[in-house]
Structures are given as C-alpha cells and as structure tokens.
C-alpha cells in the first residue's frame, strides 16, 4: 500500500530523470511533492554575492521546475536553514515521508541528521538513497572488511563488484502533485546577482549537461586517454560542474564509458567514488592530513608568494596561465590542477590547505571530496598520494603538455611573441631579445619567484624531517 504523500528534497541532484530519491517516492507514494532549499548556512559563508555556482544552481532550478511542471508538479524553493525549512514544509504539506539522495560531506551529514531527528520526532520517515556515486557505504571493502586507502586496489574491487544493475537507470515515470507553493525565487530574492555564465559559454541545467555529453560521446570519449593531459586541446568532457550539481547522472556516464571501452575516463569516474568514500569514512581529512604525521610539516609563511600564485604572476608561464584561467573562468584543466598544486606546496613551500581554500572559492565545480583529495595527493599528505620526493618541474611539465605554448599564450598575452624555445622559461632570453619580443622580464612579465632546483632541495629537506620522525 502506498504512502499518501511524500516530499523529494533535491540537493546536488538537479534533474528529473535517473534520480534515486524521485524514483523511490513515485514508487511508494500516491502524491509526490518536490523541493529545493537555498541553504543560508552555505550561502552566508560565500565571500561574494556574485557567485557563478549559485547562478548555475538557480538557472538549473528554473529548468528543473519547468520539467516538473510538465509532469503536473513543480519545484517548491525555500531560502533559509535547510534543517529547519524541510520540517516546516513537511508540516505545511502534510507529507508522511521525505526522500533525498545521500551526501558525504561532514556538514551535509550533520544537516541530514538534524533534519532526520526533527522529522522523526514528528513521526515522519526520512529516507536517504545512494545516487551521486555508484558504490558507497560498505559496498567496496578490502578483504579484511576495511575501507580502502589506495586507489588501484579500490578500483580493481570496484570493477569486480560492478554489475549492470549498479549503473541501471532509475525509473521515474509518474505524475507529480501540483501545489501553489511551487516556484523559483529570483537571484535577487536570495541576495545574489547574475554572473558571466553566458559570456563564458557555460550552459546550466539538464540541457547544458546533455549538450556537452552528446558532443563528448560523439567522438572525444574514445580519444580521452590520449588527449586529456593537453590543456590547449579540447580533449576532456567539461562535465565536472554538471556532475557536481547532478544535472546529469553518474550511472549514464559509467554506462557510456563501458560501452565505448573508455577505460581511462572510467578510471576518472572511479576516482570520484574513491574520494567520496575517503571523505565519508575518514572525515578528519577536512582540515587535516589523511596521514596525521604530515600535519607536522613546517610550511613557509609567505603571503607574497601565495599572492603571486593566486594572481598568476609566479614567473612560471604554465603555472601563471593555469591560475589566470581559473580566475577568469572558474575552471582549470585537471593536469594543471596537479601542476599548480605541486608548485604551491613544493616550490613555494606553502600549506596545501591555503590552496585548497582558494580553489574552493574559485572553482565552479568545487566538490569538497575531490578538491581535498587532489590537494592532499599533490602535497603527499593524502591516501595513495604522490610520494613526497616526486616533485613536478613546472618547466618540463610545460614543455611536455603545452609544447607550442598555445595555452600559455592564450592566458598570458604579454608572452604572445616569445619564440617557442623560450615560452616555457622566458627569463632565459637575453635582454636584447626580450626587448625585440616586447616583453622585458621583471617589467612586462615577472621573473621566477623561486628557483625550482633550490626549492626542490628545500622541500626534500622539509619532508625528510617528518619522515625521520615517523
């Protein structure tokens, strides 16, 4: 027998298809309402009222609301503390069950615990389902029954565990309950402003995700492994922001990866599950090293160096171009995320947590689990991290992955006329050639903020102190 009324609480799953919570609600209830809360606990902490992510969410909600209205329903959008707004809405609607999809961030888990406790006190059921990952909880464990801390064994176990059912589409047919409360407030109503999403070519919502995925699946998916490391080439999917906000289903992407034998891309999707698992099972990684011994590293207190990194004026062209891309667009190529993170921690000797925070403020696709995992990987403090003695050389990385300097010239126009042989280290040009190319190092473009070879030796010494103490 079906429950009379249910509420689906959308969070980072802004689509009306292949949606675990919506599917369960439609199966178990006669009347299904849908809601989203602009959570002030999150919004009030943002440094700017002109935030691309909030704009992206808002535009995606408009499309989701339209899709739900086409099915007889609509989206009830509230603005306030989610742990308070959901119980209030439940009582207004008279629903008996709330359905939502699981989140793995500590703050989100606390929010859900508070909402669940409040609902339970009123006799309301609260069901959280798996949706944003393929596996979670105890589904992928070591033979000893423990969570994995190394990716490759996790990946092998993940693949061995995978069946067609794990990435099957959730049914979502059925009409929704209409309500006069449905509607999406304007950005102004919640205290935010429009941004430059359109100018940047970012298309929010399910339609934006569909367009990008169709383009990627039509050809690039089969060449992803060969093209993914070159920032001047259109080789990646650009779906990260859509995965972050759930305007596309992870199950659909995994099915496509398998069908196209796109093993490298599938591996990247498995990394996503891996970092969700790490955050879920080892929440101390928020603010602390996964390997506690690495919290003892003595980082440099160097505000000027950090500012140079943030602003893209370290004197190392690939690093600076990547940071300028981030500041301009809110996006950075994955290879470059590794390069700039290594540079901050191992060339400048600056605490990875400062870089993690800067990325959290700037990235359109910011996801705590992946951002934390990536920064800890680069700083060698995380699970299955790059060994501390493996330090990216920003010049050789540039020569290898942007050999003609196309990406560099795109974001550092002052280097546009520098010959290819100097584009990766323009300070090696003589003064006369610098003047001839219209870029004098130290005047038109900064010289290197550090010497890589010397910085490398300092980093090895810094980490060796910690290793010796272990």
Q: Give a three-class secondary structure readout of 136-154.
A: CCCCCCCCCCCCCCCHHHH
Do the domains 292-465 and 3-131 match in fold? no
Secondary structure element (H or E) that encloses residue 427, with its range: none
Are the C-beta atoms of residues 400 and 414 closer than 8 Å to each other?
no
How far lies 92's CA from each of 73, 85, 88, 111, 286, in Å? Answer: 16, 11, 6, 20, 36
CATH superfamily of domain region 3-131? HUPs (3.40.50.620)
How far lies 373's CA from each of 99, 306, 313, 324, 327, in Å? Answer: 29, 21, 26, 23, 21
pLDDT of residue 174: 82
Are the C-beta atoms of residues 87 and 115 closer than 8 Å to each other?
yes
Distance in angstroms (rounded) separating the CA atoms of residues 230 and 356: 23
Distance in angstroms (rounded) separating the CA atoms of residues 19 and 132: 9
Report pLDDT digits (tens) over 296-326: 999 999 999 999 999 999 999 999 999 999 9
- Tell which residue, 239, 246, 244, has the closest CA to residue 262: 239
pLDDT of residue 1: 47
Residues labelled as active-site residues: 268, 271, 299, 334, 352, 375
> What is the secondary structure of 258-305 as a DSSP string?
HHTT-HHHHHHHHHHHHHHHHHHH-GGGTTS-SSGGGGG------HHH
Q: Which two tokens stand for residue 161?
A: 């565990």
Q: What HEC string does 76-87 produce? A: EEEEECHHHHHH
First to last CA, the chain: 60
Beta bridge partners of 452: none
For domain 133-168+205-281, give its CATH number from 3.40.640.10, 3.90.180.10, 3.40.718.10, 1.25.40.80. 1.25.40.80
Q: For all residues of the chain together, what is the average pLDDT?
A: 96
pLDDT of residue 466: 82
Are the C-beta atoms of residues 55 and 192 closer than 8 Å to each other?
yes
> What CATH number is given for 292-465 in this structure?
1.10.579.10
Please name the residues in contact with 77: beta carbons below 8 A apart, sequence gap of 6 or more: 35, 36, 37, 38, 61, 65, 183, 184, 185
Which parts of the chain have pLDDT scores under 70? Answer: 1-3, 468-470
Q: Where do the structural domains in the chain lie, given as residue ranges?
A: 3-131, 133-168+205-281, 292-465
Distance in angstroms (rounded) separating the CA atoms of residues 181 and 424: 57
- Tell which residue, 336, 296, 59, has the closest CA to residue 187: 59
- Tell which residue, 23, 179, 173, has the closest CA to residue 101: 23
pLDDT of residue 3: 60
Distance of CA 396 to the CA centre of its chain: 27
Strands of the sheet with 125-129, listed across from one edge:
75-80, 29-39, 3-10, 97-101, 125-129
Beta-carbon count within 10 A of 456 CB: 17
């Amino acid at each position: 027998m079906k429950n009379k009324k249910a509420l689906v609480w959308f969070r980072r799953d802004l689509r009306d298809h292949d949606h675990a919570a919506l599917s369960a609600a439609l199966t178990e209830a006669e009347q299904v309402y849908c809601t989203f809360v602009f959570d002030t606990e999150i919004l009030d902490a943002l440094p700017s009222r002109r935030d691309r992510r909030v704009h992206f969410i808002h535009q995606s909600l408009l499309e989701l609301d339209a899709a739900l209205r086409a099915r007889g329903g609509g989206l009830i959008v509230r603005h306030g503390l989610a742990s308070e707004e959901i119980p209030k809405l439940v009582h207004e609607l008279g629903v008996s069950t709330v359905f939502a999809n699981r989140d793995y961030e500590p703050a989100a888990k606390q929010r859900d615990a508070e909402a669940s406790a409040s609902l339970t006190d009123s006799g309301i059921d609260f069901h959280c389902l798996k949706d944003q990952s393929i596996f979670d909880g105890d589904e992928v464990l070591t033979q000893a029954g423990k969570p994995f801390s190394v990716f490759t064994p996790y990946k092998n176990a993940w693949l061995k565990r995978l069946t067609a059912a794990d990435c099957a589409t959730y049914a979502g047919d059925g009409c929704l309950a209409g309500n006069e409360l449905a509607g999406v407030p304007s950005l102004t109503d919640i205290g935010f402003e429009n941004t430059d999403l359109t100018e940047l070519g970012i298309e929010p919502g399910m339609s934006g995700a569909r367009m990008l995925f169709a383009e990627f699946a039509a050809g690039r998916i089969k060449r992803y492994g060969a093209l993914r490391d070159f920032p001047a080439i259109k080789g990646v999917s650009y779906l990260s922001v859509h995965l972050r906000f759930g305007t596309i289903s992870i199950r659909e992407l995994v099915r496509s990866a398998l069908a196209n034998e796109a093993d490298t891309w599938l591996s990247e999707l498995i990394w996503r599950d891996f970092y969700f698992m790490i955050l879920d099972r080892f929440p101390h990684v928020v603010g602390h090293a996964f390997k506690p011994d690495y919290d003892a590293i003595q980082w440099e207190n160097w505000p000027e160096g950090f500012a140079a990194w943030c602003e893209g004026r370290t004197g190392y062209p690939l690093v600076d171009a990547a940071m300028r891309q981030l500041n301009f667009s809110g996006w950075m190529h994955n290879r470059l995320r590794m390069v700039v993170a290594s540079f901050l921690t191992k060339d400048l000797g600056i605490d990875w947590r400062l870089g993690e925070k800067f990325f959290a403020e700037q990235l359109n696709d910011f996801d705590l689990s992946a951002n934390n995992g990536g920064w800890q990987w680069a700083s060698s403090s995380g699970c299955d991290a790059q060994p501390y003695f493996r330090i990216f050389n920003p010049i050789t990385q540039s020569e290898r992955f942007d050999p003609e300097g196309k990406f560099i010239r795109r974001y550092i126009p002052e280097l546009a006329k520098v010959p290819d042989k100097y584009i990766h280290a323009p300070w090696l040009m003589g003064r006369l050639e610098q003047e001839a190319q219209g870029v004098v190092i130290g005047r038109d473009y900064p010289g290197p903020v550090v010497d890589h070879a010397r910085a490398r030796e300092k980093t090895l010494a810094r980490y060796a102190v910690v290793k010796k103490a272990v």
